[in-house]
Amino acid sequence: MRMWAPLGLVLLWASMALLGFVVPLAPEHIDLSKILVPGGAEEWLGYDDLGRPILDRLIMGARTSFFVAFAVVGLSLCVGTMIGTFGAFMGGWVDHALVRIIDVFLAFPGILLAIALAGVMGPGIDNVVIALSAVGWVGYARLSRAQVLTVKERDHIHAAIAIGTKPLRIMVRHLIPLVSAPLIVEASFGIAGAVIAEAGLSFLGLGVQPPAASWGSMIREGTRYMLVAPHLVITPGVAIMAVVLAINLFGDWLRDWLDVKDQTRLG
């Protein structure tokens, strides 16, 4: 039962992201007579500093965060899992070198490397995806490596090696399916992390460029008018918090449901 509320919110987020393709929106329509007008019956969420409708911009921001989050997690999950599985399966110096590379990436605290990469490569949504994936793959590589190490000595793997199955096939068909549960749980929390990270980069001015909308850049633009129009900052912030909270709750439920030990979050 406890999954329905979070799942509902995540689905709302997804449908907001897709809504922009169906319903005509005017997130970049400037109406100077409505500058900073708060929400009301006519336009629920009010207007921003250029008189643009906040609801429309919120929906466009949902699209930004949705596609960036799924692109980043999809990319990091694939690359990280392949690298981690490869290292654990091959063993020896390959594995050793990979562990060192992972260590180097883990030496950059939190979002720092992503900020530096996005800052150096220049702003833009594609660079945000690249920067966050360049940081994100490490977690999945470490997790998949640790998981594969625990299952690679099983009989069916030895059997597969004995009948001459190619390494790639063993990894994709026999190893990765066995270790997918913790990776899926990690990925669900990864979506939440990517939503915050994208908004954070956009808040710093490194993400989407104006006039395009992101929840992070909406907060950035709104802070200048906080005293007269706090709704500019409150609305996108509530959206981020609701989505991240829902994904985290969903991830918690998923972890219990798939019966994965709570090692992914703390370690």
Partner 1 sequence: MLQFLVSRLITATVVVLGVMCLVFALIHLVPGDPVEVMLGESAQPADKEALREALGLNQPVHLQLLDYLARLVRLDLGTSIYSRRPILDILLERIPATIELGIAALWVATFLALPLGILAAMHRNTLLDFGAMGFALVGVSIPNFWMGPMLILVGALWLGWFPVSGREGFMSLVLPALTLGTAMAAILSRMIRSALLEVITEEFIRTARAKGLTEWRVIAHHGLRNALLPVITLLGLQLGALLGGAIITETVFSWPGIGLLVVEAIQRRDYPVVQATVLFISLSYVLVNLLTDLLYAWIDPRVRIQKGP
Q: Which of residues 72-131 bind partner 1 (CB under 8 A)?
A: 100-101, 103-105, 107-113, 115-117, 119-122
Cross-strand partners of 53: 47
Residue 115, Cβ neighbours under 10 Å: how many? 18
Residue 95, Cβ neighbours under 10 Å: how many? 17
Q: How far apart are CA 140 and CA 188, in angstroms?
A: 12
219 binds partner 1 (CB under 8 A): yes
Q: Which of 88, 62, 69, 79 is nearest to 9 (CA)?
A: 62
Q: How far apart are CA 180 and CA 257, in angstroms?
A: 14
User: Cβ closer to partner 1: 249 or 254?
Assistant: 249
256 binds partner 1 (CB under 8 A): no
162 binds partner 1 (CB under 8 A): no
Instruction: Give how many residues touch partner 1 by CB under 8 A.
Output: 49
177 binds partner 1 (CB under 8 A): no
- Contacting partner 1 (CB under 8 A), which of 82, 125, 129, 196? 196
Q: How far apart are CA 236 and CA 108, in angstroms?
A: 29
User: Cβ closer to partner 1: 47 or 189?
Assistant: 189
On whether the CB atoms of residues 264 and 186 are closer than 8 A, the answer is yes
The sign of the torsion formed by the CA atoms of 196, 202, 206, 207 equals: positive
- Contacting partner 1 (CB under 8 A), which of 84, 136, 190, 200? 200
Residues that bind partner 1 (CB under 8 A): 100-101, 103-105, 107-113, 115-117, 119-122, 146, 149, 192, 196, 199-200, 203-206, 216, 219-220, 222-223, 226-227, 230, 233-234, 236-237, 240-241, 244-245, 248-249, 262, 266
